[in-house]
């Protein structure tokens, strides 16, 4: 089992920045991919960014050039630096861990961007 705890959400104005963190505990050695997903009201959960153990990254087109995902394997932590935030980035952001023991989700952290 893997437990994920997110932090760093909040409220910002358009153009602002936030940094999300997610700390994994438990069977962290089994994790291959860490990622961030988001879900806005009335919409399906969508991929934001993922990063593999080796550092390969993947981003949604809507966040490319604005968001950066990074990972500290020694600390079992994944980060999401979000710059140039837009109102359409408003959502609950979820941390995800995927590996040979399964697929796990954090509880989510709210990000609200005001015009």
| Alpha-carbon gap, residue 95 to 78, rounded angstroms | 8
Residue 107 clears pLDDT 90, i.e. is over it: yes
End-to-end alpha-carbon separation of the chain, Å?
40
Q: Which residues contact 97 (CB under 8 A, 6 or more apart)?
A: 2, 4, 24, 31, 33, 34, 35, 103, 104
At CA 37, angle to CA 33 and CA 38, rounded to 5? 170
Percent of the chain with pLDDT over 70: 100
| Alpha-carbon gap, residue 11 to 22, rounded angstroms | 18
- For the record, the structure tokens of 96 come out as 């995800």
Digit-coded pLDDT (tens) for 25-40: 988 888 899 999 999 9
Residue 20 clears pLDDT 90, i.e. is over it: yes
Taking a C-beta distance cutoff of 8 angstroms, is the pair 115, 11 a contact? no
| Alpha-carbon gap, residue 101 to 115, rounded angstroms | 42
**Average of per-residue pLDDT across 9-14:** 97
């Amino acid at each position: 089992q893997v437990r994920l705890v997110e932090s760093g959400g909040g409220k910002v104005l358009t153009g602002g920045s936030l940094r999300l963190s997610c700390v994994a505990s438990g069977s962290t050695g089994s994790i291959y991919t860490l990622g961030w997903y988001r879900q806005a009201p009335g919409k399906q959960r969508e991929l934001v960014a993922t990063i593999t153990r080796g550092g390969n990254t993947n981003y949604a087109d809507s966040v490319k050039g604005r968001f950066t995902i990074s990972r500290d394997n020694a600390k079992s932590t994944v980060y999401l630096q979000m710059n140039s935030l837009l109102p359409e980035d408003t959502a609950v952001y979820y941390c995800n861990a995927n590996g040979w023991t399964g697929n796990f989700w954090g509880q989510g952290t709210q990000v609200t961007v005001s015009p």
